[in-house]
Structure 1
Amino acid sequence: MIMQPSVPIVMTLAGSDPTGGAGIQADIESILSMGGHAAPVITAVTVQDTRDVVALAPMDGELIIQQARTVLEDMPVAALKVGLLGSMEAVEALHALLNDYPELPLVLDPVLAAGGGAALADEEMVDGILQLLVPRTTVLTPNTLEARALARGSDTLDACAMALLDQGAEYVFITGTHERTSEVHNTLYGNHRRLEVFPVPRLEGEFHGSGCTLSAAIAALLAQGTAVPVAVHEAVSYTWHSLQAGRRLGMGQKLPNRLFWARDEADEDDTDDGPHEPH
């Protein structure tokens, strides 16, 4: 009899970011921070800095499947997180893989463009994500730009969410950092309705890897059996604090400090009015 590990295992399929701000590197830190163990599968290698993506080299689809299957046959993975895929071949490879593991919850962060604006998915890939992956998704985490791109023709964000739910996603969580609002409104949808809004104070500056941080944290909590609304609430709090503690380590966007919780208690600032940190 195989003993179940005491730490939940989350497989993340995403691109590698040499800045350490986003992608696989961000996922590993987030999953670790939420009490999980990350099993990283590289889908693409990027050339980027803290300003934008310069080049993208997608992995061969068969190599993606081999990476994932080898681990899935060895370790009791409890949840999947998907980020940058990089090619239609990768979308199709992931679809084939998901068909063999229908019981695993999936958090899909539909990375369509870099923070600096570089396109990371063409129209064929957008259609492929919508048709092949969204119907298999437990929690879809688009920002407002990605939601509008995936739900073309929808005139409001609520309509975008309804369209994506109709496409088969169990939950849709639209993040509002790209909107021009004084407060960031993040909205969870499910059961064909708006379920809850998670507002957080808007922080100054731009951040590299916030979407990866959020979606990986949600996946790590789902791997522990946490209900989706609770997982979203805790992941939003964790992400906000990671951004609040973010640092400008390059010449572009700030990088989240996903290990903010490891700092000395004497350095903690108890005066912020942001959301409470997850326990």
Structure 2
Amino acid sequence: MIPNVLTIAGTDPTGGAGIQADLKAFSANGAYGMSVVTAVVAQNTRGVGSIVAMEPEFVAEQIAAVFEDVRVDAVKIGMVANADIADAIRQSLDTYAQCPVVLDPVMVAKSGDHLMQQDDVEAIRERLVPRATLITPNLPEASVLLDRDVEMSSLEEMHASLEELRALGSQWVLLKGGHLGGEESIDILTGHETVELTAPRVDTINDHGTGCTLSAAIAALLPRHGYIDAVRQAKKYLTAALRHADELDVGAGHGPVHHFHALWNNAPLQLQGAQR
């Protein structure tokens, strides 16, 4: 059975992050994608211009429209925008969701732009993290969740933070170490057990939407795999998408990863001389 997976997130008109990236990652990993918009974001590969948040009641109505008609096998939550929307999502999940919930605590864009007010972070920490079955913070996001001023700078510090992150309430934590640098990208998954997941670091500036893509791929894979296997496969998928990212020509800044690298490489597009 093909899983139905829902993303609750903000938009990216250039298609590299947010809901657009989530839907691509769902499809590339064999899931049918559905979406609920929390915010419309004017952004591109160079940065974020402005954000228009949806009314919380409208976010709840979108979620209800999906769950009242469609079997939902997993949920991915990305950009929440503000505390009222976080509350609306939590109430909706409590009413409807009996499936894995993957929370990517999106607070800062790749460009460094803040995507939500600092005062709203507490709502993510207290309302959504305990409701999630898996959270996927990178090192800056983990520091925000733990209310720390100094970002982790070593694998040892990452391991030392796992217990405190788990104490926030999710069943599993995927702490992503991409910001450490080095020849390898090392993430740590902890839940019923703890494992390190390592992949070669890909030398490309086209890494827009990596966090969205990874968490969405995990959500797409969870209905058919255990947590460790789903995360391992999703990381392998993202690494390949990064490796093929330079095949795309999208934007003048941090371009997107190549979500459909496997499909398009097997069936190359004939752009020149194509028949209409």
Tell me if TM exceeds 0.5. yes
The superposition leaves residues 196-225 of structure 1 with CA deviations (integer Å, 9 ceiling, x where unpaired) of 11111111133100111100010011123x
Partner of 1:250, secondary structure, is coil
* Cα-to-partner distance string for 1:75-117 (whole Å, 9 max, x where unaligned): 0011100001111111111111121135221000000011101
Do the aligned partners of 2:28 and 2:260 also contact (CA within 8 Å) in 1? yes
The equivalent residue for 2:37 is 42
Cα distance in 1, alignment partners of residues 55 and 223 from structure 2: 28
Gaps spanning 5+ residues in structure 1: where? 1-5, 268-279
**1:13 aligned onto 2:14:** no
Q: What secondary structure is seen at the aligned counterpart in 2 of 1:112?
A: coil
Give the Å deviation of 1:54: 0.8
Contact 1:21/1:208 (<8 A) preserved: yes
Q: Which residue of 2 aligns with 1:66?
A: 61
Show the counterpart of 1:53: 48
Report the equivalent of 2:274.
Answer: none
Structure 2 equivalent of residue 277 of structure 1: none
Aligned to 1:124: 119
Change (3 A) 1:248 1:186: farther
Q: Does 1:219 align with 2:219?
A: yes
Q: Distance in 1 between matches of 2:69 and 2:97?
A: 17
d(CA) in 1 for partners of 2:185, 2:88: 35
CA displacement at 1:248 relative to structure 2 = 4.1
Asked if 1 retains the 8 angstrom alpha-carbon contact of 2:204 and 2:242, the reply is no
Residue of structure 2 in register with 1:182 after alignment: 183
Structure 2 equivalent of residue 253 of structure 1: 254
| Aligned-pair CA distance for 1:40 | 0.6
Q: Distance in 2 between matches of 1:43 and 1:198?
A: 31
Q: Tell me which residue corresponds to 2:272.
A: none
Give the AA of the match of 1:217: A
Measured in 2, the distance between the counterparts of 1:149 and 1:157 equals 14
**Partner residue, 2:271:** none
Deviates more, 1:46-55 or 1:100-109: 100-109
- Counterparts of 1:229 and 1:204, CA distance in 2: 26
Q: Residue 202 of structure 1 aligns with which residue? A: 201
* Aligned mates of 2:51, 2:162 — CA distance in 1: 29
- How far is the alpha carbon of 1:159 from its aligned partner? 3.4
Task: Supply the RMSD in Å over aligned alpha carbons.
Answer: 1.6
Identity score, percent: 36
Moved more, 137-146 or 118-127: 118-127
Deviation at 1:121, TM superposition (A): 2.0
Distance in 2 (CA, whole Å) between partners of 1:170 and 1:150 is: 16
The answer for the alignment partner of 1:274 in structure 2 is none
Higher helix share: 2
Equivalences for residues 59-208 of structure 1 within 5 A: 59-153=54-148, 156-191=157-192, 195-206=194-205, 207-208=207-208
CA–CA separation in structure 1 for the residues paired with 2:249 and 2:139: 25
Question: Partner residue of 1:3?
Answer: none
Out of 169-178 and 14-23, give the one that drifted further: 169-178
SS of equivalent residue, structure 2 residue 10: strand
1:74 CA displacement: 0.2
- 1:255 and 1:19 map into 2 onto residues whose CA distance is 9
CA contact 1:205–1:254 (8 Å) conserved in 2: no
Q: Which runs of 5+ in 2 are unaligned?
A: 269-276
Q: Does the 8 A contact of 2:90 with 2:127 survive in 1?
A: yes
Displacement of 1:174 after TM fit? 1.2
Cα–Cα, structure 1 residues 94 and 159, in superposed 2: closer, same or farther, change >3 Å? farther
- Alpha carbons 1:41, 1:64 under 8 Å: kept: yes
Which string of whole-angstrom CA distances, capped at 9 and with x for unpartnered residues, describes residues 8-32 of structure 1?
A: 1001001110010000000001001
Could you tell me which residue of structure 2 aligns to residue 33 of structure 1? 28
Instruction: Give the counterpart letter for 2:22 in structure 1.
Output: D
